[in-house]
Structure 1
């Protein structure tokens, strides 16, 4: 049986995971009697937690949202999860400093045992280097402003610079739908009213105009899933599928273990100790051929024909770039063999 303090913490964790709990279920989970559960509920109410009794045949309890902040209680797993999230989720963003301050604040109110445990947890999230001339990250205030407009379902007007060195277009007018994070950048998913199509906008390149426009009835996002939609758009399709527009299959003269670390989201199948099959996708056939060519080994194209054509076009392009006529290059090869 739990001690009173640890049992209260376990009870509070259970109340936060479900809307309603019956007294019998809580007693069974905590290995106590229903009478003990009732006493513990009274103790939590005294600490400021708004717990109401649910009427019904079996009765039960519900943790409501309170107006005052009661003492924060975290079990070991929650403390570790918060530490990892605050150390990694905000890296390279405008809220990184706020996340660091939040972690410092939580550490101060944790008991010595938990504080010692999270002090031993050192996680470093490495942000990819920014492109030359890249724009600053979106500010926390801008994210909050966009979130408010999305929640209010109001049309948004803003100036937008599509590239680091590009000038702003005419003001855009959209129906904002979602804020998403993709590879350390925030994006706004919205219905572009003049263009009558879905668009994704880098948030750090948005400069909102005021006032906002009229309210609107949200449209249904293609596919219904914002994660799949954004993934599909960045892979060059219409957002209704996450598949790459171009996908090919080859056999590489390399062990599968040497290919897997660099195959990204490709599928690698081991054929023998020195060969493997690779199925990979890209936004174009030329891009796909280039991605496969970086393995620097013998390649056998299984299909489709467009991939083989892309390899031939790249070979001719590279030969011209090297300023070696293909006929002479072939002759040199024969002479060397002789």
Structure 2
């Protein structure tokens, strides 16, 4: 499918076949130089903190499940910060507070979330995947949905189809900025992944028609959506940073990369330029901390509500390409990591 939009490489250069006028790109670059001059410096390469969450039961302990158990897909569990393993097991296995449900021949995978209607609802983007065969990798993305939960009880109120006509998974990130909610999606072609941007007025993704960034303006046609940035992960973040925006993502231009990158822009639609390496995940690959070539890291993003000054709190996932073997041999692999990364002003050491 032809993309009638500006395409930018990792350095912000206009790609071949770009649709945005040269003067418009120059204006954006000049604006970036102005709004980002105090923050486009090197990032700290060492973590300020690295944390893991909770207790994982060993074989035979309450809450432990064997490799052949029925996996629970993306349940929402509400409970105290400290919860014993037996209670946590009971809630996951039989009494979850909320979930999008399980469609025939597939499942929902939840993505970015935000509240709507003055906090009354928790709105969670959900990707519907469908099985195509009996194998581990025999499945594909089918469509996008919004799962709406009651914020107090976490009971599912509705499951509403979202735009799905442009091969874009609209679940990477949600940004509330001024009068709009910006929806960041990923066109996942396997070896290549491209960011797309849509928006809707207000905080309800289902109340009004979406608009799609074409590279030079907004369109009501989803198929006119532009490829904004190549090399993003299926989950990444775009957040306000001083008078601009920072995008945090794993580098998917490299297969199973350990690099976490930050890009900067003066606009929520990009261009996202001047990438800096924020962190290298120590667990990745044969030379990583597990000494296992099957260990991968992915889907890093920022948590803006937990920042401290100029320090970002970035999380990422760790997994194995041989999950049934490695994750049961060492349960620490599958736990989330959080790392504090401090951005320095331009020119600072």
Q: Same fold (TM over 0.5)?
A: no
TM-score, L = length of structure 2: 0.23
TM-score, L = length of structure 1: 0.23
Structure with greater helix share of residues: 1
Q: RCO higher in 1 or 2 (8 Å CA, sep ≥ 6)?
A: 2
Structure showing greater Rg: 1
Structure with greater strand share of residues: 2
